């Protein structure tokens, strides 16, 4: 099983890096939306809560733009049968999950520094800020992995992915925005309850996705 | 399923009770009568969602195909639930305008009901996007279960994020909304009749689904 | 190693697309050592029937059951016991031929075995080329290698000879001939040469 997951991950990274167009698009999208926001505001500083709302909206749409790709590609290139003949559905799900988590972390690495730099964010509690970004990002990428598989089976339309992801990710976005606001405003804010919420959410969502994935992936 | 026909009797009774028998509330006046429609509709929307979810779970766990077309039945239930939820939202925001002064103010209940609407919309979008894919039922059911799992998180968060104006539990004796004995009885009857209406409609839609299926089967045999 | 006897039992399988029956009530049983060719005109459902037997599609009615030495193999485990060639099965274009083989075989096959097969099918010098640059005949040969690399006991070949030149076909047929004993072989084809490799013929449509 572990060997299969590693094999799948290797393959996914190889394929993605050899044909970088999708990766490039997602990265460019992340950079451009962040830039566009700061250009549009012309450097006027926002209040903290608006800053965190905009930051999470950008990240949400970056996720919507990039995270379904790993499954949609298998359908578009008609390789999904080859994939399922060679790996069990459990290892397919786990390897795609790991890929998405890493991929979204990379996107966040692009969005957040650019955003902080261009909008001159003053972060009062950096530890909480960073932890919120990371754990919220894990929630988003973990929650959307199985939805990406569903979308790929439904023909891979981009807007469908956003529509079905939004209600599921709403609690994450709410809590993430609230916590980010606090970390921008309050000095020495050290309430980690929300981080625990994120971990609980991603744990539950991964477990249920793992159970449901076979119904989405396997033809019976 | 004879008992479902009882809705023909109960629904008029509940309408008559709510307009003629129940007294108007002290402060809210006659507008308070919306409660006899708003609360049962909201309850029906949630009930339909739960029933859809249960059907979906049964559909996915039903290996020997003991039940037929559960995914279609789950879809039927969601359709009724969507209508109930939209009506509850409209009646709720009308009432909100009359008693709080604005149609919408992100009260926790309003937030929850819009989340419920979003889930329904997502489910229907997925359903129609799947077209005649052979996995349609399985994927749509999996999505509904997936969405249901996130509901407890909403229940946990929403009250913390949004302050409430809502008259708390349905029956309370606080200043905000006094429910007299007559009001309570009327509300109970209304809830019962809308529940019955939901099951009546569901039964109807399910029968249509089954008939449609067999009609198509018959045609094929020719 | 002890000889393993595999059996595939197809019972009253029907398939219908929307309102049209592709085929109805097909039943037969096959065991290790037998081979069957499915023939029939275009659109008669050869490929679909083969995919149903392989468990890739589900039948509208009827059952397909697999067993090994009398004990049943669950449907989702059966993929591990079969090799499959079909136009709907595509390896990764971005990977090289060798990487695709490794993806399929893992560490179960030694370098020599893989290279031996590659050489036999004249792909050795192309092993490190991305599939994007393969010709369709080369791809077809690679698909064959991918199907047999794990030495599966059940083989499904949907027109294995497509896009192959004369010499490619000769190599392919002689290889099929050499591995056929001890396997279950299904072949969907309309080529006389290919169906004559099988012991029995089943016509549909």
Using the predicted structure, report yes or no on whether residue B171 has a pLDDT greater than 70: no
- Asked if the model's pLDDT at residue B173 lies above 60, the reply is no
Distances (CA, A) of A55 to A47, A61, A179: 12, 10, 12
Is the Cβ pair A18, C99 closer than 8 Å? no
Question: Is the CB of residue A1 less than 8 Å away from at least one CB of chain C?
Answer: no
Q: Using CA atoms, how far apart are residues A64 and A140, in angstroms rounded to an integer? A: 10
**Nearest CB to B133; choose among A154, A204, A215:** A154
The DSSP-derived string for chain B is: -GGGGGHHHHHHHHHHIIIIISPPBTTTBGGGGGHHHHHHHHHHHHHHHHHHHHHHHHHHH-TT--SS-HHHHHHHHHHHHHHHHHHHHHHHHHHHHHHHSSS----HHHHHHHHHHHHHHHHHHHHHHTTT-TTHHHHHHHHHHHHHHHHHHHHHHHHHHS---S--SSS--SSS----HHHHHHHHHHHHHHHHHHHHHHHHHHHHHHHHHHHHHHHHH-
Instruction: Determine the structural domain holding residue B70 and report its residue range.
Output: 31-221
pLDDT of residue B178: 57
> Which residues in A lie closer than 8 A to residue C62 (C-beta atoms)?
none
Looking up tokens 């029995």 gives: C200
A85 touches chain C (CB under 8 A): yes
Classify residue B7: in a domain, yes or no: no
Q: What total number of domains does chain C contain?
A: 1
Residues of chain A with pLDDT under 70: 43
Measured distance CA(B69)–CA(B74) in Å, rounded: 9
Range of the domain at C185: 6-203
Alpha carbon distance, N-terminus to C-terminus of chain C: 41
pLDDT, residue B55, reads: 92
pLDDT of residue C1: 45
Q: Report how far residue C203's alpha carbon sits from residue C188's, in angstroms, rounded to the nearest whole number.
A: 10
Q: Is B22 part of a structural domain of the chain? A: no
Task: State the pLDDT at residue B53.
Answer: 92
Dist. CA B129–CA C64, nearest whole Å = 30
* pLDDT the model gives residue B146: 93
Residue C1 within any structural domain of the chain: no
Work out how many domains chain B is built from and give that number.
1
Q: Is residue C87 assigned to a domain?
A: yes
Closest residue in chain C to residue B219, using alpha carbons only? C19
Tell me: pLDDT of B122 over 90: yes
Q: How many domains does chain A have?
A: 1
Predicted pLDDT of residue B36: 86
Residue A21 contacts C, CB cutoff 8 Å: no
Task: Kindly tell me if the per-residue pLDDT of B201 is higher than 90.
Answer: yes
What pLDDT shows up at residue B11?
87
Task: Identify which of C56, C93, C107 has the shortest CB distance to residue A77.
Answer: C93
Task: Report d(CA B148, CA B139) in Å as an integer.
Answer: 14
Taking a contact as any Cβ pair under 8 Å apart, which residues of chain B between 103 and 132 contact chain A? Answer: 115, 118-119, 121-123, 125-126, 129-131
Predicted pLDDT of residue C14: 84
Test mutation, A79, A92, A216, chain C, max C CBs within 10 A:
A79
Give the pLDDT mean for C35-55.
84
Tell me what the mean pLDDT of segment C13-33 comes to.
81
Q: What is the dihedral of CA B194, B200, B205, B209, to 10 degrees?
A: 150
Scan for tokens 């709403």, then name that residue. A170
- Residue B27's pLDDT is what? 66
Q: Is the pLDDT of residue B68 over 80?
A: no
- Going by pLDDT thresholds of 50, 70 and 90, the confidence category of residue B169 is very low
Q: Within A42-157, where are the H helices?
A: 48-66, 69-76, 80-86, 89-118, 126-153
Its pTM stands at 0.88
Q: Which of A119, A122, A139, A161 is nearest to A209 (CA)?
A: A139
Give the per-residue pLDDT at C58.
Answer: 83
Tell me if C68 is assigned to some domain.
yes
Range scoring the smallest mean pLDDT among A30-34, B1-5, B69-73, C164-168 = B1-5
By three-state DSSP, how is residue C10 classified?
strand
Transcribe B102-135 into DSSP letters.
Answer: SS----HHHHHHHHHHHHHHHHHHHHHHTTT-TT
Of C19, C21, C58, the CB nearest to B216: C19
Q: What percent of chain C has pLDDT over 90?
A: 0
For residue range C119-140, list pLDDT tens digits in order: 888 888 888 888 888 888 888 8
pLDDT grade for B164, boundaries at 50, 70 and 90: low
- Residue C189: inside a domain: yes
The pLDDT tens digits for A111-165 are: 999 888 888 888 888 888 999 999 999 999 999 999 999 999 888 777 899 999 9
Q: Which domain holds residue A205?
A: 2-217
**CB contacts, 8 Å: A84 with chain C:** 79
Range in A95-104, B170-179, B182-191 with the lowest mean pLDDT: B170-179
- In sign, the C-alpha dihedral spanning B99, B103, B107, B111 is positive
């Amino acid at each position: 099983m572990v060997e299969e997951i590693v094999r799948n991950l290797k393959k996914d990274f190889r394929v993605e890096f050899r044909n970088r167009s999708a990766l490039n698009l997602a990265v460019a999208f992340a950079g451009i939306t962040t830039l566009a926001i700061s250009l549009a505001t012309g450097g006027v500083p926002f209040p903290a809560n608006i800053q965190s709302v905009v930051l999470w909206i950008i990240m949400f749409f970056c996720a919507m733009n990039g995270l379904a790709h790993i499954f949609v590609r298998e359908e578009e290139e008609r390789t999904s049968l080859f994939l399922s003949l060679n790996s069990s559905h459990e290892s397919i799900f786990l390897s795609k999950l790991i890929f998405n988590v890493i991929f979204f972390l990379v996107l966040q690495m692009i969005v957040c520094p650019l955003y902080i730099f261009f909008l001159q964010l003053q972060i009062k509690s950096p530890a909480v800020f960073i932890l919120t970004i990371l754990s919220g990002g894990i929630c988003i990428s973990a929650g959307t992995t199985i939805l990406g598989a569903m979308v790929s089976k439904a023909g891979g339309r981009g807007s469908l992915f956003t529509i079905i992801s939004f209600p599921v990710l709403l609690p994450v976005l709410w809590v993430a925005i609230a916590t980010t606001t606090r970390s921008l405003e309050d000095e020495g804010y050290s309430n980690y309850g929300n981080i625990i919420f994120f971990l609980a959410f991603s744990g539950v969502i991964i477990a249920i996705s793992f159970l449901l994935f076979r119904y989405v992936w396997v033809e019976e | 399923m004879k008992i479902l026909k009882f809705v023909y009797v109960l629904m008029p009774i509940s309408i008559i009770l709510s307009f003629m028998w129940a007294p108007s509330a002290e402060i809210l006046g006659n507008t308070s009568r919306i409660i006899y429609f708003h609360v049962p509709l909201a309850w029906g929307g949630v009930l339909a969602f739960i029933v859809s979810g249960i059907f979906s779970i049964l559909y996915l766990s039903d290996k020997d195909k003991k039940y037929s077309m559960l995914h279609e039945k789950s879809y039927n239930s969601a359709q009724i639930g969507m209508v109930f939820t939209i009506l509850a939202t409209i009646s709720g925001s009308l009432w909100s305008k009359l008693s709080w002064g604005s149609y919408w103010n992100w009260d926790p209940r309003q937030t929850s009901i819009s989340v419920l609407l979003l889930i329904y919309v997502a489910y229907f979008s997925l359903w129609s996007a799947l077209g005649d894919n052979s996995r349609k039922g399985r994927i749509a059911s999996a999505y509904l279960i997936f969405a249901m799992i996130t509901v407890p998180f909403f229940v946990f968060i929403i009250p913390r994020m949004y302050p409430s104006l809502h008259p708390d539990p349905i029956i309370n004796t606080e200043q905000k909304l006094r429910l007299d004995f007559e009001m309570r009885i009327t509300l109970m009857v209304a809830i019962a009749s809308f529940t019955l209406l939901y099951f009546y409609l569901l039964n109807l839609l399910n029968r249509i689904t089954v008939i449609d299926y067999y009609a198509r089967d018959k045609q094929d045999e020719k | 190693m002890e000889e393993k006897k595999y059996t595939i039992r197809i019972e009253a399988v029907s398939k219908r697309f929307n309102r049209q029956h592709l085929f109805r009530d097909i039943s037969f049983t096959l065991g290790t050592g037998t081979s069957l060719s499915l023939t029939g005109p275009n659109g008669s459902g050869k490929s679909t029937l083969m995919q149903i037997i392989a468990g890739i599609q589900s039948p509208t009615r009827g059952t397909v059951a697999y067993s090994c030495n009398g004990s049943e193999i669950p449907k989702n485990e059966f993929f591990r016991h079969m090799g499959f060639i079909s136009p709907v099965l595509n390896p990764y274009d971005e990977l090289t031929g060798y990487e695709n083989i490794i993806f399929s075989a893992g560490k179960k096959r030694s370098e020599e075995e893989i290279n031996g097969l590659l050489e036999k099918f004249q792909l050795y010098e192309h092993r490190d080329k991305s599939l994007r640059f393969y010709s369709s005949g080369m791809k077809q040969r690679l698909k064959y290698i991918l199907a047999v690399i794990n030495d599966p006991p059940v083989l499904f070949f949907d027109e294995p000879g497509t896009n192959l030149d004369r010499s490619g076909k000769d190599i392919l047929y002689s290889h099929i001939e050499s591995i056929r004993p001890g396997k279950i072989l299904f072949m969907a084809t309309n080529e006389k040469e290919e169906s004559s490799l099988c012991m029995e013929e089943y016509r549909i449509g």
